[in-house]
Amino acid sequence: MDLNSVQDLKDVLRPDFFHGYATAATQIEGAWNKDGKGPSIWDTFGHTPGKIADGSTADDAVRAYDFYRSDIALMKTYGVNAYRFSLSWTRIIPLGGRNDPVNETGIKFYSDLIDELLRNNITPFITLFHWDTPQALEDRYGGMLNQEEYTPDFVRYARVCFERFGDRVKHWITYNEPGIYTTLGYAEGVHAPGRSSFRERSEEGDSSTEPFVVAHTQILSHAYAVRAYREEFQERQRGTIGITLHGNWSEPWDEEDERDREAAQRALEFEIGWFADPIYKSGDYPASMRKQLGERLPRFTEEEKKLVLGSSEFYGMNHYTTFFMKHRDAEPDINDNKGNVEVRDENKHGVPRGEETDTQWLRAAPGGFRKLLNWIYQRYQMPIYVTENGTTAKGETAPTAEVLNDEFRIRFFEGYVGNALARAVKEDGVDVRSYFAWTLTDNWEWAAGYADRFGCTFIDYESEEKTRYPKQSAYYLDKLFKHLIKDE
């Protein structure tokens, strides 16, 4: 665990840099129907046969609901100064709606969690929504497909959280990866609520229109929640609020071909600009999207454009990997949401996009991370909070000495944090203010079940208490950040 490759990067990160772990309620808490919690769309999806790769559910997950205190103690040994976690909407408002009762037991759980973090000098970053729409709202009016009904429900939920936790929580994120929620849930149908045009996969849905309706709902409800925070809470509570967007780096398949360079740029606009351009740049969708999608892409009113533009006080960035993009001469497929491109694992010269992990879509490509940090900073001119980044590693099936000495993950962090993020700060002048590794413990990785282990802590899923075994990557990150962050 030497730091030879980053020796020249000592003290390059700001003294108030936040570093820690990111998690999501559905993936770690368990207690899915206890103490008044209502069902979410992921509870429904996880209990539907054939939807989860290993047939598992998140009913128990890693029992963080029961063991959060010891998990915080573990984080303390990992040297973190911040923790990003999401709230379960249905633990707080079981039926989700603006007129539905609040569950005081759920409020107390999160209040106790926040207090325990603060006692350990760990700064809480709260995500209001990490994909777990209340099932009751899905049943009542179709969830996010009905913007008019959904928005006041989400804003009321946000307001309850600001009221109950905002005296102690100063870092708020409205939505986590609205683009992934949208495309996997409504275009491909492989995530909850499982809607798409592909009938072998989904009983209902329209991949050509619904993703754009749902995305529009998320952008607008985010903006209304931010307005509520700013008007009613921010002056007194003195916190900051924004949104977290996902984004892979898109590289031209043939960097000499202008069409492939345009395809890579277009892919970035369809994946990232879809949400970031309205919020940070123009109040509207990228022109490339309007050109391809026409009236299938909803329109903002002039009033909505003003509401949306500037509605995030930082750029929340989740990033994992890089893909090569090749242009397509053909007309776009009616269900395309990627910008009419071919996505490749190798470029024209047979160079792979990165080193393989234990997850098919994820390859280690730290160079793409640095390029994307620059692209985002130049395009949007906002301070960047890296709110997720991490990897799986092959062969992590038992807590052996070799598995716990997770050299692949250590190399991943060395590349992404040291030689990408820190150099982007030092050499490129990018303003980066946090790094949250995904994730603290192995967990329930949505439709992949328990097979994909992203944790810096190994979980024995067979044990009743989901026994935790620290991996060396957690201690490496501590050592790395002690080197990179300037002392006060």
Q: Which residues pair with 469 in a beta bridge?
A: 458
| Catalytic residue of the set 177, 271, 304, 313 | 177
| Secondary structure (DSSP) of 138-182 | HHHH-GGG-HHHHHHHHHHHHHHHHHHHTTT--EEEEEE-HHHHH
Which DSSP category does 12 fall into? -
- Cα dihedral: 318, 321, 326, 330 (round 10): -50
| Catalytic residue of the set 188, 271, 304, 388 | 388
- Please indicate whether residue 331 is annotated as part of the active site: no
Report phi then psi at 148, rounded to 5: -60, -40
Report the Cα–Cα distance between both ends of the chain, in Å, rounded. 25
* Contact in structure between 62 and 169 (CB atoms under 8 Å): no
Give every CB contact of residue 53 below 8 A, 6+ residues apart in sequence: 447, 448, 449, 451
Q: Which residues pair with 134 in a beta bridge?
A: 40
CA pair distance 63, 378, nearest whole angstrom: 41
Would you call 456 helix, strand, or coil by DSSP? coil
CA pair distance 154, 283, nearest whole angstrom: 21
Q: Helix count (H) and strand count (E) of the chain?
A: 19, 15
CA pair distance 269, 248, nearest whole angstrom: 11
- Please indicate whether residue 346 is annotated as part of the active site: no
Question: Which positions are annotated as active-site residues?
Answer: 177, 388
